[in-house]
Structure 1
């Protein structure tokens, strides 16, 4: 595996973690929103990733990166609360809140941040190796 492939893998990892961070931030930002209907209520979103395998030939692997296949809405049920005095209440007096668990989202944000940081470190280490190889070539 060449150093260029390592940089490509690290960059796709950073892109994926960036999507995860943005999705998590959106979930947290909408965690306290309220709606008067089930359909209009914000639903937590989560990115879907897959390994992107590049084949150099039929028997040798170049590398594996990360593909973001998309962002899906959570299937968890929304929170329904009886609040007849709320101006957002429906005709039965219920308001609807998102299915966002802020504690889980914060844990996911920390995990995504660490994943991003790890990919940055891999890219930085690879860059230093490139420099050392170039320096060795100049000394010959």
Structure 2
């Protein structure tokens, strides 16, 4: 059995989840900013994971195919991109604020702190699950080497 595939799958999952944590932290850090250093308002970001392959085989076909479909399966690992979310800004009534509009409202980014915290916690748990899967594959590989070395 080739354990590098298991390691690659876990690593790809950890990359996606680390990116989700980073983006959630970025959104939370900028939740109360009015404008950035470039003068533009901050737009909340979202992580999008996409498969790079057109692999249409069913799970049964992949299992029955064994290692013959392994290169195709490795191409199906997700790629991660960060895109700006299309969220309406949060309008807060602060008439004394220097960036208030004519009606006294200040436009803050449309960051929902509860959603970002839940996203961060779920990404952390998914990252931990990927670490556990990688450790299990490593343990199995070491045990296989021990068995093979003892024979």
- What TM-score results when the alignment is normalised by the length of structure 2? 0.79
2:92 pairs with 1:61: no
Distance across 2 between alignment mates of 1:54 and 1:135: 38
| Distance apart, 1:95 and its partner CA | 1.3
Higher strand fraction: Structure 1 or Structure 2?
1
Measured at CA, do residues 54 and 120 of structure 1 come closer, stay the same or move farther in structure 2, by a change above 3 Å? farther
Provide, for residues 77-110 of structure 1, a one-character-per-residue CA deviation record: whole Å limited to 9, x for no partner: 1112332211232455331101100000001001
Higher helix fraction: Structure 1 or Structure 2?
2
Distance across 2 between alignment mates of 1:21 and 1:81: 27
| Distance apart, 1:32 and its partner CA | 1.6
Distance across 1 between alignment mates of 2:25 and 2:100: 26
Provide, for residues 30-88 of structure 1, a one-character-per-residue CA deviation record: whole Å limited to 9, x for no partner: 112224xxx82211100110134598xxx7431342211x1111111111233221123
Partner-residue secondary structure (3-state), 1:61: helix
Distance across 2 between alignment mates of 1:52 and 1:115: 21
Distance across 1 between alignment mates of 2:69 and 2:121: 31
Partner of 2:128: 117
How many residues in Structure 1 have an aligned counterpart in Structure 2?
A: 134
For residues 36-115 of structure 1, the aligned pairs below 5 Å read 40-53=40-53, 60-62=68-70, 63=73, 64-68=76-80, 70-90=81-101, 93-115=104-126
For residues 11-50 of structure 1, the aligned pairs below 5 Å read 11-35=11-35, 40-50=40-50
- What TM-score results when the alignment is normalised by the length of structure 1? 0.84
| Distance apart, 1:2 and its partner CA | 2.7
Q: Which runs of 4+ in 1 moved over 4 A?
A: 52-55
